[in-house]
Amino acid sequence: MTTRMKALGPVTDQGNAEQLMTTGEVAVWLQVAPKTLRNWRSAGIGPMALKLNGAVRYQRAAVEAWVADTSKAAG
């Protein structure tokens, strides 16, 4: 599996419609520490996460929606 970066984060060559991302991948994309993302998840203020057999994953579309909903123009 080859991973390359695009404007909105990592994309795989597998063409998955619902790409699942790790905490580390989302943290890099959002430019925050993984610990910050875990704190947000614990406080219920970060993007919605899934737990699959104990592994935390994020749906790319859910992270994009969270960014759009929580973003506001600087100024």
Per-residue model confidence as pLDDT tens digits over 37-59: 999 999 999 999 999 999 999 99
Q: Of 72, 4, 30, 15, which Cα lies nearest the Cα of 58? A: 30
Angle between helices 23-30 and 60-70 (to 10 degrees): 30
Round to whole Å and give the CA distance between 26 and 60: 9
Per-residue model confidence as pLDDT tens digits over 15-31: 555 689 999 999 999 99
- What predicted TM-score, i.e. pTM, was given to this entire model? 0.73
